[in-house]
Amino acid sequence: MHKLPLLGDEAIAQGAIDAGLSGLYAYPGTPSTEITEYVLKSKEAKEGKLVASWTSNEKTAMEATMGVSYIGKRGLTCMKHVGLNVAADAFINSAITGANGGLMVVAADDPSMHSSQNEQDSRFFGNFAMLPMLEPANQQEAYDMMHYGYDLSEKYEIPVLMRITTRLAHSRAGVVRKEMREQNKLKLPNTPNQFILLPANARRRYKMLLGTQDAFTTESEDSVYNKYIDADNKKRGIIACGISYNYLIENYADQKVPFPVLKIGQYPLPRKLIEKMYNECDEILVLEEGYPLVEESLRGYMNNGKPIKGRLDGTIPRDGELNPNIVAKAMGIENYEGREPSEQVVGRPPSLCKGCPHIYSYNALNEALEKYAKGRVFSDIGCYTLGALEPFTAINTCVDMGASITMAKGAADTGLVPAVAVIGDSTFTHSGMTGLLDAIISNSPITVLILDNETTAMTGGQNSNAKGKIEDICKGLGVLEEHIHVLIPLHKHHHKNMEVIKTELEYHGVSVIIPRRECIQTLATRIRAEKNKVKPAIQ
């Protein structure tokens, strides 16, 4: 049997293509980015048989995908967990509109925050929206679940959320493909008012959503992805969700766990299977990545005295990702901790690349701000967030995409003058533009630096929707032309750049300074590709 060695992200992408995907829209974010990159590089996308595109943010991606579903075709959007916060308005309402063509939303969570600001658990969003959810345990399931998820989505005319975590997204395993399914033909929704969420329609649609909840649970009870694996020793029953099932069986050479195991891959939770385990076993141990969602539900379901163990009672740490060792400890079995790294292995803190344009922007900004008290630079998320570290220590905040301009505005409006916002080009078009409009409307005394390296560098150099548009956007929003400046962030321009920033700090209104020079990494990739006359892999 031929197996393709795929990352979890790639398995999802290949699964979607093989399941008849017509349109993928996404905004990059670790650990979800490789899904879209894989589809962009696919034969099907290159031949124009399906549409795949980066969008300005996760909300626009979600909505474009709803458009695909509206015309009866299969759509996919994928994002990192915090991206689902941005898409939440559309996502929650998509449960009320329902779907026409299959609609899959993939949220990639990042427990332990390897490259994120928090470790929120997207399963709460699935529950909040009252949608069916899938959580693969391995790459093969990730692939298979795309076929299954689209069928489920079309059967109930409802979006389906798939939740994965970093280790599954970024580890590779052999995947067997299924036969490729044809894409759906264009077919508008049968119910004309389905997507018009006027209150009268929305109330009706909401009742429909509530009315389908039991059917979703029955689907979970019968799902191949929720398996009760019986065993003789009933002293303990183990509920293992998603990839934590792998961490569990890795502890047993023959992969045979001596206790009954309920492997969960589909939500809402299969209540009957859980009741069976609760009634048969003396105690329950819950293994789940992220928040204690299942553990909490269990305490609500059947709190009649039997111990329920997991993250809430301290059997497993409350935060951080799981691994086979943590699971072994929770099971009270011998545990191979591994060796301490050699002394020769030294920690390498992240830093801006040598020659990075952001270095010269921060050098100029720091010098321009010398005469002011510290604590007035509101930053954002991107490579430039590394400006928080030595030797720059140039920024004072980093909260969520777009928050630099709006936080600077709030601070400046109420007394911190001058206030500075530092934002990247991709972040600016993601969610900085609306904040800039707010600042212009209130004539807030802020100096905005849009660090334009002409790419979305932090996530691997995807195209930036801001490319070639920033000055026009700022002018269109109402920034006065004489307060828009483009600089070249190079050492030889340091003095001039610093003087421009200094002057604008004195201006009591909105000014925008755009240090523009291409990221040296994408530049190098581009030059290499041009030399070899191949298209750059990064799109």
Choice between 217 and 455, CB closer to ligand TPP: 455
The whole-angstrom separation of Cα 397 and Cα 380 is 7
| Residue number closest to ligand TPP, CB atom | 424
The whole-angstrom separation of Cα 248 and Cα 257 is 8
Residues 6+ apart with CB under 8 A from 119: 81, 109, 110, 111, 112, 113, 290, 319, 320, 321
The whole-angstrom separation of Cα 431 and Cα 437 is 11
Applying CB under 6 A, does 402 fall inside the site for ligand TPP?
A: no
Choice between 165 and 456, CB closer to ligand TPP: 456
- Least distance from ligand SF4 to the Cβ atom of residue 167, Å: 24
Per the CB < 8 A criterion, the answer to whether 470 and 515 are in contact is no
The whole-angstrom separation of Cα 377 and Cα 366 is 10
- Least distance from ligand SF4 to the Cβ atom of residue 522, Å: 7
Binders of ligand SF4: how many residues, by CB under 6 A?
10
Applying CB under 6 A, does 358 fall inside the site for ligand SF4?
A: yes
Choice between 56 and 191, CB closer to ligand TPP: 56
Applying CB under 6 A, does 448 fall inside the site for ligand SF4?
A: no
Other residues' Cβ atoms within 10 Å of the Cβ of residue 470? 22
Q: Among candidates 470, 457, 466, 462, which has minimal Cα distance to 382? A: 457
Per the CB < 8 A criterion, the answer to whether 241 and 289 are in contact is yes
Applying CB under 6 A, does 77 fall inside the site for ligand SF4?
A: no
Find the binding residues for ligand TPP in span 42-81 (CB under 6 A). 80
- Least distance from ligand SF4 to the Cβ atom of residue 59, Å: 25
Sole binder of ligand SF4 in the list 356, 420, 433, 439 (CB under 6 A): 356
Sole binder of ligand TPP in the list 404, 455, 465, 521 (CB under 6 A): 455
Binders of ligand TPP: how many residues, by CB under 6 A?
23
Of 119-127, 158-166, 301-309, 515-523, the segment contacting ligand SF4 by CB under 6 A is: 515-523
The whole-angstrom separation of Cα 515 and Cα 470 is 11
In three-state secondary structure terms, 104 is: strand
In three-state secondary structure terms, 249 is: helix
425 binds, among ligand SF4, ligand TPP, none (CB under 5 to 8 A by kind): ligand TPP
Question: Quick one: 88 exposed, middle or buried, by C-beta within 10 A (0-12, 13-18, 19+)?
Answer: middle
Q: Among candidates 231, 224, 281, 239, which has minimal Cα distance to 257? A: 231
Find the binding residues for ligand SF4 in span 20-59 (CB under 6 A). none
| Interface characters, 17-36, with ligand TPP (x: CB under 6 A) | ----------xxx-------
Q: Among candidates 351, 358, 353, 349, which has minimal Cα distance to 384? A: 358
Sole binder of ligand SF4 in the list 202, 302, 417, 520 (CB under 6 A): 520
| Peptide bond before residue 418 is cis, with ω within 30 degrees of 0 | yes
Sole binder of ligand SF4 in the list 352, 419, 439, 510 (CB under 6 A): 352
353 binds, among ligand SF4, ligand TPP, none (CB under 5 to 8 A by kind): ligand SF4
Choice between 358 and 516, CB closer to ligand SF4: 358
Q: Which residues on adjacent β-strands are paired with residue 12?
A: none
- Least distance from ligand SF4 to the Cβ atom of residue 466, Å: 14
| Interface characters, 365-384, with ligand TPP (x: CB under 6 A) | ----------------xxxx
In this structure, what is the dihedral angle of CA atoms 233, 237, 243, 249, given to the nearest 10 degrees? Answer: -10
520 binds, among ligand SF4, ligand TPP, none (CB under 5 to 8 A by kind): ligand SF4
Helix 494-505 vs helix 357-368: crossing angle, to nearest 10: 50
456 binds, among ligand TPP, ligand SF4, none (CB under 5 to 8 A by kind): ligand TPP
CA dihedral over 203, 134, 67, 183, signed as positive or negative: negative
> What residue has token string 């109420």?
414
Residue 425's region, left for phi above 0, alpha for psi from -120 to 50, else beta, is alpha
389 is written with which tokens? 């570290």
Choice between 167 and 358, CB closer to ligand SF4: 358
The whole-angstrom separation of Cα 192 and Cα 432 is 36
Choice between 186 and 537, CB closer to ligand SF4: 537
Q: Can you give the binding site for ligand SF4, defined by CB under 6 A?
A: 352-353, 356, 358, 383, 453, 457, 519-521
Binding stretches for ligand TPP (CB under 6 A): 27-29, 80, 82-83, 86, 381-384, 401, 424-427, 453, 455-459, 464
